[in-house]
Chains A and B, each alone.
Chain A
Amino acid sequence: MHGDNPEIDIGAIDDVIHGRLRLGVMAYLSAVNPASFPELKDKTGATNGNLSTHLTKLETAGYVRQEKGYNGKRPQTLVHLTPAGRKAWITYLDAMKTLLGHSISDG
């Protein structure tokens, strides 16, 4: 995806998090945890199917946990950021800082 620039070490980026939609989900969950599925959909601008696919990917990696339940009589899915997800998010941001710092300082 970003492999054409030799100054960026793509291996340092967590590929599960990286991707605009998953990045957005992780960013929102870092501030609002848990968040409901419609809330995430609204904030990221994703479609139901797209969001669902990416949440499954994050869940498989252990970064989020989906809790299906009911709010009154309505079905509700709450998405939780797991401790592993929070750790991965912080590591990801640190890696980004390093990568972009190098990239910018190298011109």
Chain B
Amino acid sequence: MTNTNMLMADLKEAGRIAKAGVETPLVGGPIGLMWGLLITSVLAIHYMIITQIMALPPQALNFLWIGFAIFGGTGSAILGRKADTKPGAHSTANRVEQYVWIMFSAAMASLAVGVIINLVLGSGGYELWAFMLIAGFAGQGLAYGVVAKLTGHSWLHFAAFASFTMAAISMSFYGQNVIYLIAALGSFITVVIPSLLSMKAER
């Protein structure tokens, strides 16, 4: 074998290995699925409480959302540790995905803090929480779009488009109780379904 042929063979093998690294699937599917199922359920229960389909006092909403934060945070930590051990978990694509969603969570948390401060010190009403749903869908669309573009998983553009559509639909129902039911359905479509597809691609 000549030098050139040996070099070419070595580089071809290196290229195959590098490609295997680049093409690692996104491993965050189970975390997305957990959040998707959780937010879908919580929003549906929220709707049932405020419309009194579920005969619970409004204070139950506080427990509902505190429970959401605790359960979601704990679930994320457990599933995140598990995802971290999967092959390719530290690929560029997975690092981008992980970081984008961390930033999205930080954005939503900062909005929640602002809403609480407004409710306690300002003149805002509880409809401010509904604004978070709209911001959530819009931010989610942005997050999906960035992940789709930077990781090459271009099918996520559909999730981005669906999220932006849900932001527009939610905005059009701002001020009405039904926004929570619409958001529950929207969360199922824009979080649960993409997470399931992501998990399917991982297998």
Whether chain B is bound by chain A comes out as yes
Residues on A lying within 8 angstroms of B by beta carbon are 2, 4-5, 7-8, 18, 20, 23-24, 26-36, 39, 42-44, 71-72, 76, 96, 99-100, 103-104
Please give the number of chain B residues whose Cβ is less than 8 angstroms from any Cβ of chain A in the complex: 27
**Contact sample, A vs B, 24 pairs, CB 8 Å cutoff:** A2-B3, A2-B7, A4-B3, A5-B2, A18-B10, A20-B13, A24-B13, A24-B17, A27-B17, A27-B18, A28-B21, A31-B18, A31-B19, A31-B20, A31-B22, A32-B89, A33-B90, A34-B90, A35-B21, A35-B90, A44-B17, A72-B81, A99-B7, A100-B8
The interface residues of chain A lying within 8 Å CB-to-CB of B17 are 24, 27-28, 43-44
**A43 contacts B20, CB within 8 Å?**
yes
A21 to chain B: closest CB distance in Å?
9
Provide the bound-state CA to CA distance between A7 and B18, in Å.
28
Known A2-B7, A42-B87, A104-B4; further 19 A-B contacts with Cβ < 8 A: A5-B2, A5-B3, A20-B14, A23-B10, A23-B14, A24-B13, A27-B17, A27-B21, A28-B20, A30-B21, A31-B20, A31-B92, A32-B21, A32-B89, A43-B87, A71-B81, A71-B85, A72-B81, A99-B7
Question: A96 and B11: CB pair below 8 A?
Answer: yes
Enumerate chain B interface residues (CB-CB to A < 8 A). 2-4, 6-8, 10-11, 13-15, 17-22, 24, 81, 84-85, 87-92
Q: A43 to B21, Cβ gap below 8 A?
A: yes
**Across the A-B interface, the 3 shortest Cβ-Cβ residue pairs:** A31-B21, A5-B3, A27-B18
For residue B4, which residues in chain A have a CB less than 8 angstroms away from its CB?
5, 8, 100, 103-104
**Do B24 and A32 touch across chains, with their CB atoms under 8 A apart?**
yes
How far apart are the CA atoms of A61 and B152 in the complex, in Å? Answer: 33
Among B14, B84, B90, residue most surrounded by chain A Cβ atoms (within 10 Å): B14
Q: Is the interface of A mostly helix, strand, loop or mixed?
A: helix
Contact between chains at A27 and B88 (CB < 8 Å): no
Q: Which residue of chain A is the closest to B1 with respect to CB atoms?
A: A2
A35 — which chain B residues lie within 8 A by C-beta?
21, 90
B85 x A36 contact (CB < 8 A): yes
Contacting pair A32 B7 (CB below 8 A) = no
Q: Nearest A residue to B91 by beta-carbon distance?
A: A32
Provide the residues of chain B in CB contact with A23, threshold 8 Å. Answer: 10-11, 13-14
Measured CB to CB, the nearest residue on chain B to A23 is: B14
Query: Contacts of A72 on B, CB cut-off 8 Å?
Result: 81
Cβ 8 A contact of B14, one of A4, A26, A100: A26
Contacting pair B21 A20 (CB below 8 A): no
Contact B87 A27, beta carbon cutoff 8 Å: no
Docked pose: A30 CA to B3 CA in angstroms: 25
Q: Is the CB of B18 within 8 A of A28?
A: yes
Among A26, A30, A104, the one with the most B-chain Cβ atoms within 10 Å of its Cβ is A30
